[in-house]
């Protein structure tokens, strides 16, 4: 269990992020067409998993926009934006903001992803959602970088995540 903060108040997660060098846990998340996606759907590509509570908060929205901008410079990388938002809300957000370089995935069917990646908030006002984190995977799903953001309202370290791509 890790501790992060929401506006300075401590909240706990379900566990710890996968460590650098570890094999990433598989997942089943829902895309905008309501189809299940797993790690194997992104085989052979490097992956940036931007994990956050909801696109309807300012910092989460900004992080999706930032990764969308970076995706244009990293065509060999898939930028996965993962939250508990419904795929419809994720799609509306991306459409309203002209974001075409990222792929949104939803935990709407269950929270196994957040549990397995150690980001599920288990207490506090956002319990049941995910803490803010970034996990970068290589083509073989080995963890290159992981960051659990200490203050949920803060942005992740984009530069460290992108630098880990090589």
Q: Which residues are catalytic?
A: 60
How far from 6 is each of 13, 43, 121, CA to CA, in Å? 12, 35, 11
Q: Do 153 and 165 contact (CB within 8 A), yes or no?
A: no
- Distance from C-alpha of 57 to C-alpha of 14, rounded to nearest angstrom: 22
- The CA distance from 158 to 45, in Å, is 19
Pairing relationship of beta strands 133-137 and 103-106 according to DSSP bridges: unpaired
Residue 135 to residue 144: CA distance in whole angstroms: 8
Strands 103-106 and 77-83: parallel
Among 45, 15, 9, residue whose Cα is nearest residue 148: 15
């Amino acid at each position: 269990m890790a501790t992060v903060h929401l506006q300075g108040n401590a909240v706990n997660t379900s566990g710890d992020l996968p460590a650098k060098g570890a094999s990433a846990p598989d997942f089943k998340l829902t895309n905008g067409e309501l189809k299940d996606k797993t790690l194997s759907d992104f085989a052979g590509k490097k992956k940036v998993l931007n994990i956050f509570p909801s696109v309807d908060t300012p910092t989460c929205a900004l992080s999706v926009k930032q990764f969308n901008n970076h995706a244009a410079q990293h065509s060999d990388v898939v930028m996965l934006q993962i939250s508990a938002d419904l795929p419809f809300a994720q799609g509306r957000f991306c459409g309203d903001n002209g974001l075409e370089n990222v792929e949104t995935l939803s935990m709407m069917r269950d929270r196994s992803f957040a549990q397995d990646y150690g980001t599920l908030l288990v207490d506090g006002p956002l319990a049941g959602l995910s803490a803010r984190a970034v996990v970068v995977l290589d083509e073989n799903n080995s963890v290159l970088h992981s960051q659990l953001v200490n203050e949920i309202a803060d942005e992740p370290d984009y530069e460290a995540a992108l630098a880990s791509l090589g």
